[in-house]
Each structure stands twice: as C-alpha cells, then as structure tokens.
Amino acid sequence: MADLIIPIAIYTDMLTHLTSTLPNEGCGLLAGKRAVAKSVYPIRNVASTPQVRYQMDGQQQLRAMLSIEADRDSLIAIFHSHPTGPEVPSATDLREASYPSAVYLICVPLPDETWRVRGFKLKKNRFEEVVVSVADQV
Ligand SMILES: [Zn+2]
C-alpha cells in the first residue's frame, strides 16, 4: 500500500510546473483525501535560486490552503525540485519542514527529461522515505 498515490494527470501537472521553473527550484502543494492526490497547486518560489532552498510565496500558499479547505480536502503533499540533486531532502528542508501529516516530495530532473520523484515523511525530527505510486487511474 502506497503512502501517497498520485494520478498520472496530477503527476504530469506537477512536473510541468517544475519543468517551467528550471533551472531554479519550483514548489507547490498537492491536496486530496487520505492518500490520494486530487489537485495540484503550483506555488511561486520567492527564493527562486538553483540552490537547494525554496520559500513559498505566502499569499499564494494561503490562497491554496483556503481553497483546499473549501473543497474539504487535506494538504497531503508538499513538493519541490532539486534541479541539480540530491534526491533527498536537504538540511534546510528538514529545518523548515513543519507538516508531519504531509509527504515531502523531492523531484529531480534526469538527463532524459523525465523526473525522479521520492517521498519523505517527517518522523521524530528526521525524514523517512515513504512509498509514492503514480496511478493510471484511481
Ligand atoms: Zn529542498
């Protein structure tokens, strides 16, 4: 059983956004019910550097959270890219992580223009890898 299930259409939208922000880090939120993602909210990265750091635009993040609440969904994943790797969260990611219920997705572009996506959950002040699956249909 996957900890996070992302329908292919949502997965594609997420990666299209992250491709559009290259070579800088991109970020956003996934909302849904239980473990299944239903909608993607691309958020502007106000830090916007190729370095391993991101900071979500506060206004856009707030608007997304209100919309998620209005849909009676939950924030289930927080995604961002590491344009030059690594495939795991940085020390800064760990320090700034504050949603133990969400999966943190790290997305790394590969030379063949596909992406490597790995998920992590906050447990006792460290990240543990979880199972993320992309579904053709849910
Ligand atoms: Zn990061």
DSSP characters over 70-85: HTT-EEEEEEEE-TT-
pLDDT at 51: 67
pLDDT for the residue numbered 112: 94
Burial of residue 86 (CB within 10 Å: 0-12, 13-18, 19+) is exposed
What tens-digit pLDDT sequence spans the chain (138 residues)?
799 999 999 999 999 999 999 999 999 999 999 999 999 999 999 987 766 678 999 999 999 999 999 999 999 999 999 999 999 999 999 999 989 999 999 999 999 999 999 999 999 889 999 999 999 976
Write down the pLDDT at residue 110: 96
In this prediction, residue 52 carries a pLDDT of 67
Catalytic residues: 25
Domain of residue 112, CATH code:
3.40.140.10
pLDDT given at position 50 = 66
**pLDDT, position 53:** 76
Return the pLDDT at 107: 98
Rounded distance from Cα 82 to ligand 1 centre (Å):
6
Distance 94 CA to ligand 1 centre (A): 9
Range of the domain at 74: 4-135
Total domains, the chain: 1
Separation of 54 CA from ligand 1 center, angstroms?
Answer: 7
What pLDDT is attached to residue 39? 97
CA dihedral sign of residues 17, 119, 93, 38: positive
Distance 106 CA to ligand 1 centre (A): 7
> 88 alpha carbon to ligand 1 midpoint, in Å?
8
